[in-house]
Amino acid sequence: MNRLAGKVALVTGAGRGIGAAIARAFVAEGAAVVLAELDLDTAQATAKDIAAAYANARVLAVKTDVTQSASVQSAVSEAERTFGPVDVLVNNAGINVFADPLTMTDDDWRRCFAVDLDGVWNGCRAVLPGMVERRAGSIVNIASTHAFQIIPGCFPYPVAKHGVIGLTRALGIEYAPKNVRVNAIAPGYIETQLTHDWWNAQPDPDAARRATLELPPMKRIGKPEEVAMTAVFLASDEAPFINASCITIDGGRTALHHE
Ligand SMILES: NC(=O)c1ccc[n+]([C@@H]2O[C@H](COP(=O)([O-])OP(=O)(O)OC[C@H]3O[C@@H](n4cnc5c(N)ncnc54)[C@H](O)[C@@H]3O)[C@@H](O)[C@H]2O)c1
């Protein structure tokens, strides 16, 4: 408890799934949290749930489109007006765009990069000037195991997620002398609506679900709360020398060559 006491955090895509779990865990650890989310209704509902669960919770939902730098900048300004300077940014908002490379449309390519890579950069560039000035800050980018492994048919999502790791490493190095840490988390399969949507898009959703549960050596997939625990750690003062790194949360799946 109180591992993030006194800190102000902004979490993108926090209306549901991994982002919502991170927002909740941050509040539980004493942070004031802005849920910066495209779908304001879900963000408000999540903020209300969190406020009901934690006495004195400081939580605010702000409509934000991470693809638009002005929108992210405005969410950061609102966070600062309401709670004070942003100490922690979690770039979590992301979408799946899975296509065949040669039949994919230009629009698919652009919307994947707009959310999954530009969105992360837009977040970083909105908070970095303040963090650099204060010589303190932690940025956590939610990448994916697609950032270093490829599943056929999932193009161009892994290309954007590889970029998230590159961005994390580059900014981590640029701003290390200013005491700003930039790290990534690479989740494997985590049970969220995104994963359910993918199962439901398969010819046999139940078979797809069962096959997914067989993939990790632990024979289960992850929970959003398990990603949130690592986000708390990276955001906290318990990780002062962890920078430009990526922590994988996949129950060991990417270490497995084959069964
Ligand atoms: N679920 C998984 O198995 C898994 C695995 C690896 C990585 N990830 C990554 O974790 C992150 C969260 O995934 P999730 O499973 O919780 O997804 P989700 O779809 O459940 O939640 C994503 C949230 O982001 C919001 N969002 C989408 N576009 C946005 C935009 N332009 N601006 C602001 N918000 C926007 C959505 O409204 C939604 O609330 C993503 O970056 C995803 O790529 C997920």
Q: Does the CB atom of residue 65 touch ligand 1 within 6 A?
A: yes
Q: What is the pLDDT of residue 42?
A: 98
**Residue 156 located in a structural domain:** yes
101 upstream amide cis, omega within 30 of 0: no
List phi, psi (to 5°) of 201.
-85, -10
CB 187 within 8 A of CB 214: no
Count of domains for the chain: 1
Q: What is the pLDDT along the chain (259 residues), one digit of tens a residue?
A: 799 999 999 999 999 999 999 999 999 999 999 999 999 999 999 999 999 999 999 999 999 999 999 999 999 999 999 999 999 999 999 999 999 999 999 999 999 999 999 999 999 999 999 999 999 999 999 999 999 999 999 999 999 999 999 999 999 999 999 999 999 999 999 999 999 999 999 999 999 999 999 999 999 999 999 999 999 999 999 999 999 999 999 999 999 998 8
Residues 86 and 137: their CA atoms lie apart, in Å, by 8
Q: Whose CA is nearest to atom 23 of ligand 1?
A: 13
Q: What is the pLDDT of residue 116?
A: 99
Other Cβ atoms within 10 Å of 74 Cβ, number: 16
**Residue 200 located in a structural domain:** no
**Residue 101 located in a structural domain:** yes
pTM, entire model = 0.98
Q: Which CATH number fits the domain that encloses residue 165?
A: 3.40.50.720
Q: Does the CB atom of residue 195 touch ligand 1 within 6 A?
A: yes
**Residue 196 located in a structural domain:** no
Q: Does the CB atom of residue 236 touch ligand 1 within 6 A?
A: no
**Residue 125 located in a structural domain:** yes
Residues 13 and 72: their CA atoms lie apart, in Å, by 11
Range of the domain at 92: 8-191+223-252
**Residue 213 located in a structural domain:** no
Mutate to test the pocket of ligand 1, among 192, 198, 200, 227 (most ligand atoms within 8 A of CB): 192
- Pairing of the two strands 8-12 and 88-91: parallel
Amino acid identity at 214: E
Q: What is the DSSP annotation of 70-87?
A: HHHHHHHHHHHHHT-S--
